[in-house]
Structure 1
Amino acid sequence: MTKLEPGSPEWAKTITASKIPAILGISRWTSQFAMWHQMAGNTTEVISEPRQDNFDYGHAVEVAAAEYWKYRNPGWRISRGEIQFSRADLPFPNAATIDRRGSRGSRRRIVEVKTARSLEEWGDDGTGNVPADYTAQVIWQQFIAGWHVAADLVLWPQYGMPRIYTVEYDSQIAAVIVDRALAWHKSLEAGEPPELDDTVATYETVKQLHPDIDGSSVELDPDLAHRFIDWHQEQKQTNASVTGMKSKVLDAMGSAQYAMCNGQKIADRRPGRGGSVSLYANTKLDLATIKEIAS
């Protein structure tokens, strides 16, 4: 087949590996609503300069990651570039582009490369497992390529040594993904978008869908109007409370990097712009754990 290029009209309508997490509703970067309208041609994905720079950095890293994978897998060969696959037996446009193809004789395996600033940003919760969104993406690649063997995913952090994660093929998960992909395709044909949600991606999409201001008025449902104003008033109070709490934690930390409580990390200080310092709460910590510590 002719290779699909990201950003092309054909690419937008095709169910690809990178879109699978959003279709399943497990993407950390976009929403079902945002992805649906992109694929329907109602909105366009805006690539900022910093994001494009990240893409360029990722492509450059692939070269080094491929060499690292070869050192860790003696006797295997690896392709010099991406390889794209598609299945003609599926009732919807599909594709899977893998970063590299590992080969040894007749054996083949997928080698993917991901970048992250840290393991925390990558999503490793300490189990050593690949995050769910990337796992689904790789299983789709395995299904489309027809290589039902373990795939390797090379994580290239900005700080620290690279790590190689393994993603086993799961036929049951693959079947669920295909079913969801087919339902997604049918919803596009029927013009039935997903429900709104509370993600930033959905909010930005709604703004793209209605960029014009025509001077008219619309009557809101009283319940929606009440919740909208009530939420904004509560948000102002919450923001003030959060700022006060951050000041207290920063004051208690002094020059320390981490704020701890009975062995649990509560927050950490990181360098900010212009020589400033930013405070980051450990939002992954279960609130019940803190309550147990406090009691």
Structure 2
Amino acid sequence: MTASTELVTPTGVLLGTFTPGSPEWEEARGGLCITATEIAAVLGLSPWQSRFSLWHKKAGFATPPFELSREMKWGIRFEDDIAEEFAERHPEHPLLETGTWQHRDRPWQRATPDRLWGPGLVEIKYSPLGEGWGPDGSDEFPVHYRCQVLWQQDTLGLLEPASLAVLIGGWDYREYTVEYDPEDAELMRKAAREFLDDVTAGNRPPIDGADATYQTIRVQPDGREDRDVEIPFGTVCRWDAAYEAHQAASAELTAVRGEVLDLIGNGYRAVCEGRRIAYRTVNPDGTTLALQPYRRKDAA
């Protein structure tokens, strides 16, 4: 079933169904609104966007063009297959395709859940390596996806537990439950409203270390003038120190990664006194594909 005006949710108003990357899709996500995929950036938790890059987008300044990554491309291709697996495992309700919604009382709050299912919703993901995803059924999954699903629940008023269905590496299917938390939802709404107020007032966020911030700054100039620009001495000191530290850290990281990988051997995880440090992903022949670090909060 495709999205239609027949779909009704407690607090959601259906705007339509749009192809990712299309002008209609961009329009539904643009302007002074916060979507479910943007709320993590507002909170400083997104791996793809920063507050700085999102602020520029909402303020109408130049931003890097949308590019469909390989992970996103395969995620779109696998979406129907993952949905089919979820439907087979949970036949008690039909799994409905849907579109972009806004909250009936807060039109700046928008969301595009992948599927509606009974009293809740289902968000579908694809992860090539499974980084950040814990065992099937656990509460270990990337925090930015929790933000996304919680925002979807809050927008549509579907407050029953939601499901995250993920396919890892093309064959490992897992499911996770996302509980609605009214206090967290309130904090997210407050942060989103303050962020949009900053956009209106022209209060640009500070430059941070996110790649999305750097890429946004790169597209701001629209030409080049043959002139020198004097920059602060303090910035120059940071520049010199950062480049020297980067060179030293890069060599040390390569060395310690090799040492950890050598110690793991044919094992799966490197641990120390109960703390998980890193884990191996492997090729079909058992050789190492990558050595992935555990984030400190996931390492216990």
TM-score of the superposition, structure 2-length normalised?
A: 0.77
The partner residue of 1:227 within 231, 238, 242 is 238
Q: 1:248: how far off?
A: 6.1
Per the alignment, residue 49 of structure 2 pairs with 30
The AA in structure 2 aligned to 1:239 is S
What CA distance in whole angstroms lies between the structure 2 residues aligned with 1:184 and 1:61? 34
Tell me the CA shift for residue 30 of structure 1: 2.0
RMSD, aligned α-carbons: 3.2
C-alpha displacement at 1:112, in angstroms? Answer: 1.1
Paired position in structure 1 for 2:105: 89
Letter in 2 for 1:59: I
Q: Which structure 1 residue ranges, 5 or more long, are not aligned? A: 290-295
In 2, are the aligned partners of 1:12 and 1:39 still within 8 Å (CA)?
Answer: yes
Q: Which amino acid aligns with 1:77?
A: P
Cα distance 1:4–1:28, how it changes in 2: closer, same or farther (>3 A)? Answer: same
1:27-106 aligned within 5 A: 27-48=46-67, 51=69, 53-79=70-96, 81-90=97-106, 93-103=108-118
Q: Which of 5, 11, 16 does residue 3 from structure 1 map onto? A: 16
The letter for the 2-side match of 1:11 is R
1:187 equivalent to 2:198? Answer yes
Distance in 1 separating the partners of 2:46 and 2:113: 19
Report the secondary structure of 1:98's partner residue. Answer: coil
In terms of fraction of residues, the more helix-rich structure is 1
Deviation at 1:75, TM superposition (A): 2.0
Shift in Å, 1:269: 7.6
Cα distance change of structure 1 residues 221 and 99 upon mapping to structure 2, 3 Å threshold: same
Higher relative contact order (CA 8 A, sep 6+): 2
CA drift at 1:122? 4.1
Aligned partners of 2:279, 2:184: CA distance in 1, in Å? 36
Q: What CA deviation, in whole Å up to 9, does each residue of 1:149-185 have, x standing for no partner?
A: 1111111112443111111111111111111111111
In the superposition, relative to structure 1, how do residues 245 and 183 fare at CA in structure 2: closer, same or farther (>3 Å)?
closer
Identity of aligned residues (%): 25
Q: How does 1:1-295 map to 2 (within 5 A)?
A: 2-3=15-16, 5=18, 6-7=20-21, 8-13=26-31, 14-48=33-67, 51=69, 53-79=70-96, 81-90=97-106, 93-103=108-118, 108-119=119-130, 121-124=131-134, 128-245=139-256, 252=262, 260=270, 268=280, 280=291, 282=293, 284=295
Rg larger for: 1
Distance in 2, Cα, partners of 1:99 & 1:30: 20
What stretches of structure 2 of length at least 5 have no aligned partner?
1-13
Number of equivalent positions: 274
Question: What is the TM-score normalised by the length of structure 1?
Answer: 0.79
